[in-house]
Structures are given as structure tokens and as C-alpha cells.
Amino acid sequence: MPTLPEVGTPILQAPTAEGSRDQHMVLNMGPQHPSTHGVLRLVLEIDGEIVVRMYPEIGYLHTGIEKTCEAKFYQQVVPLTDRVDYLGPMNNNLVYSLAVEKLLELEIPAKAQWLRVLLSELTRINSHLIWLGTHAMDIGALTVFLYTFREREDLLRIFEAVSGQRMMTSYIRIGGLSMEPPLGWLERVQNFISTFPEKIDEYSNLLTGNPIFVNRLKGIGHLSGPDALALGVTGPVMRASGIDFDVRRDMPYSSYEKFQFTVPVSNDCDVWARYVCRLEEMRQSVKICQQVLDGMPEGPIKANAPKILLPDREEMKTQMEALIHHFKIVTEGFPVPAGEVYQSIESGHGQVGYYIVSDGGPKPYRCHMRYPSFADLQALETMCKGRLLADVVAVIGSIDIVLGEIDR
């Protein structure tokens, strides 16, 4: 690895006009830049090619999603949560549903919980595939991008088969799942799971031994463990800084305590460590999916709460009560007991937390979303300071930014 000069010492003595020799240059990266993965503007103060300071300017997306949530019924918020982190819709549905179920103190049947785990892990693989493809593309390796999108297509077909949607699934609902998975769906998942580990080896063969890739990643974007915790960084970025914490294992939700998996942790604290951790996480997700498929319990996929959950279509056509409940839920929503809850889960990017306050009415009084990319962005300056401009691209890729998470 070439060692870098101290900050402030220019690498190249570029011919400059008299008097401006020791001035820093301000460079705008974005709002639309291929490597920022959305509308993110980075105001960079650079000295030659060295980043001296960085100021992320956000808010270009500004969806107003929290305000919108407060104007909708509880069940109408589920499709909105898909749009926040559009690469991990099932995880978002899950965390919102878990939070509302905690407010309602609803009991969820085992089969629904296991299916939720399965979908949540498939979503994690989906999210990591996009990360791997775009991250490798940022570095300049285009082939992996094409390969990951090939596998992502299989996953999207699986999601489409179960929910009718490829990306904005809204499949996990308050109190269970929207419908029973179709016949043969579990076999399709099994097919995917059986072949996917070879695909991970394929990516690994292309990248892990590739000297260009290794040199662009190793020793870049250093973030120490204490720094990561102080800045609120979570998920794979935190675990690549040596902090051994995973919400799935340590604060289990939705029956995660029943599954065996290891949490990959690295002490290297750099972009390479994040790459290694995420690659291993995909393998662990496959392991969890396999356990779900092997031991899937029988039973209903919805909680027994007719005043909260929409009835099945067949019931609605034959039973008056079901029709009345359907009508009441759609037109008036359902009241949720007053109180406040905070529910966090481990999504592909890190710890997602929903803080929901209920005043006893059918609409959330306050619905705050804590998304990992927002906190990770604060750590960007720490990771990029004193490094080369080209490393900024590698570091942004390594924290796996989704701009929908950053803007409120």
C-alpha cells in the first residue's frame, strides 16, 4: 500500500496563479452523481486530491413521509414504509408491523413469524446484492454488477410470486401476512437457496483475489469501534469496526431466537472489512432461510383479530360479520391503545427503529423512523478525511447509502 502524505501537503505541485497556491478548492460532488446512489450532494474541500473537509448537503428528496404517516390510518402506512428503503421493503414492513403489534399487544401465529424471518432474510440478500453490484461498479468492476442483478431478478420473481409486486411488496401486514404463499412457492425459495452459495463464491472469485479491487479497498475509510458507536453507526459498518452486536441475535424479534447463525465481525475497520462482513452475512442469511424451510410450522398466517385484520375474500362473500369488519377497517381504521413504542430490527443496512406514539385514535399520532443510512452519513467525514478524492467513492459504496432513508 502506498503511504499518503500528511493532510495539507499537496501531492502534485500544480501550476497555480500567484496568491492562490495554498488555497483549498471546493468541489461539489452531486446532487446527482453515479456513485452517490441517489440525490446526495457532498461539498468537498480538497487540497490537491486530498479531502480536507466534507459537508453532506441532504434534503433534495424530502418526501415528508413522517407527516404523511400521521395523516393515514395505521394499515395505510404499510405501503409507505416500502418507499423509504426501496431495497429492503420486507424489512420495513416488518419493523412497522412489529411496532404496531407491540402497541396492540397482538399475538402472531408461528407460521407467520417464520415466513417473516424467511422474507426478511431474502430481502437482506437482495439488498446486499445491490450493494455488492453497485459497490464493485463504483470501483470499476462491471461484471459483478451484471451477475448480482441476475440473481436479484430471481429474488424479485420470488417476491412477485408471493406478494404480486416486485419491489414495493407491502406483503407483511399488521397482525400477520397479507395472504398465504402460493403453491410451490417454498420449493422456488429452496431452489434459489440451494444454488445461491455457488453464486457468492463466483462473486468472491472475481473480487477477493483481484489486486485492483483489494488495493482500492484495503486500509481505506478507517472508522474505529468507539467512533462508530459515538456516531450512531449500526449494522455491517459497525460490525466491520469490531463491535459485536446484531439485533437479530441480541434483541430477538419475530422468533429469531430459534435460529442458529453467526454474526460476522471484523477488526480491520476499513472498506475491505465491510465487504468481507457483508459477503459473509449473505452466506448466513442462506443458512437461516434453510432452517426456516426445514422446520416451517403449520397454522394460520394471520392473528385472530377480526377488528384489526382484513378478512379473507372468501369469508367476506359468505359472512355478514366479515363484510362489516372489512367495511369498518377500510373506512374508519381501527383504534390503537394510547402509548408509545420503539421497535428496532436489523435490516440490510443496519438497525432500523420505529418510534410510534398513539393517542388512542386510528391514525399514528407520531411515527418517527430511525434509519441507519442517516447516521452512517455522519461518519462519512470521519472516514474520508485525509484520504484521496477517489477513495470517497469507495467509502460511500461501502456504507451502502439509500437516499430514501436519509430524507424525511
Partner 1 sequence: MADAKTTLIGKAAVLESMAEHPAVTALLGWNADALTDARFDRGELTLTIAKDQIRGACETLIAAGYNAFQDVTAVDWFPSTPRFRVVYHACSHRYKHVIRLTVLVDESDPTVDSITPVWPGANYYEREVFDLFGIRFEGHPNLRRIMMPDEWVGHPLRKDYPVEGYR
Q: Which residues make up the interface to partner 1 (CB under 8 A)?
A: 58-59, 62, 64, 66-68, 70-71, 102-103, 105, 229-234, 243, 245, 250-251, 339-342, 344, 351, 353, 355, 357, 365-366, 368, 370, 374-375, 377-378, 407-408
Alpha carbon distance 257, 391 (integer Å): 39
Q: Whose grid coordinates read 369469508? A: 315
- 92/126 with CB nearer partner 1: 92
H/E stretch holding 117: helix 110-139
Residue 276 C-beta: closest distance to partner 1, Å: 22
State the nearest-atom distance from the C-beta of 33 to partner 1, in Å. Answer: 20
Per DSSP, the three-state class of 51 is strand
Q: The cell 385514535 sits on which residue?
A: 361
In the complex, least distance from residue 330 CB atom to partner 1, rounded to whole angstroms: 20
Instruction: Strands of 122-264 (E only): list them.
Output: 172-173, 176-177
- Give the residue with the Cβ less far from partner 1, 69 or 115: 69
| Ranges of H-type helices in 235-318 | 235-239, 247-250, 271-294, 313-318
To the nearest 10 degrees (0 to 180), the angle between helices 389-399 and 271-294 is: 20
In angstroms, give the least distance from the CB of 70 to partner 1: 8
Quick count: other Cβ atoms within 10 Å of Cβ 380? 22
CB 229 within 8 A of CB 238: yes
Count the Cβ atoms, other than its own, within 10 Å of residue 311.
18
DSSP 252-273: --TTGGG--------S--SHHH
Q: Considering the complex, what minimum distance in angstroms separates the CB of residue 134 from partner 1?
A: 23
Q: How far is the CB of 28 from partner 1 (least distance, A)?
A: 17
Give the residue from 385, 362, 189 showing the smallest Cα distance to 288: 189
> Cβ closer to partner 1: 99 or 207?
99
State the minimum distance, in angstroms, from the CB of residue 369 to partner 1: 9
Cβ proximity to partner 1: between 62 and 317 the closer is 62
Q: Closest CB to partner 1 among 231 and 399?
A: 231
Q: Which is nearer to partner 1, 73 or 365 (CB)?
A: 365
Q: Looking at beta carbons only, is 58 or 393 nearer to partner 1?
A: 58
Residue closer to partner 1, measured from CB, 137 or 243: 243
Long-range contacts of 223-230 (CB under 8 A, 24+ apart): 223/269, 223/379, 223/382, 223/383, 224/269, 225/269, 227/379, 227/382, 228/379
**Burial class (CB within 10 angstroms; exposed 0-12, middle 13-18, buried 19+) of 359:** middle
* Cis before 306 (ω within 30): no
Is the CB of 63 or the CB of 204 nearer to partner 1? Answer: 63
- What is the spatial distance between Cα 358 and Cα 339, in angstroms, rounded to a whole number? 5
CB of 63 to partner 1, least distance (A): 10
Least distance (Å) between residue 138 CB and partner 1: 24
Cα 94 to chain center, whole Å?
A: 12
Closest separation in Å from C-beta 60 to partner 1: 9
Q: Which is nearer to partner 1, 219 or 232 (CB)?
A: 232
C-alpha 277: how far from chain center: 15
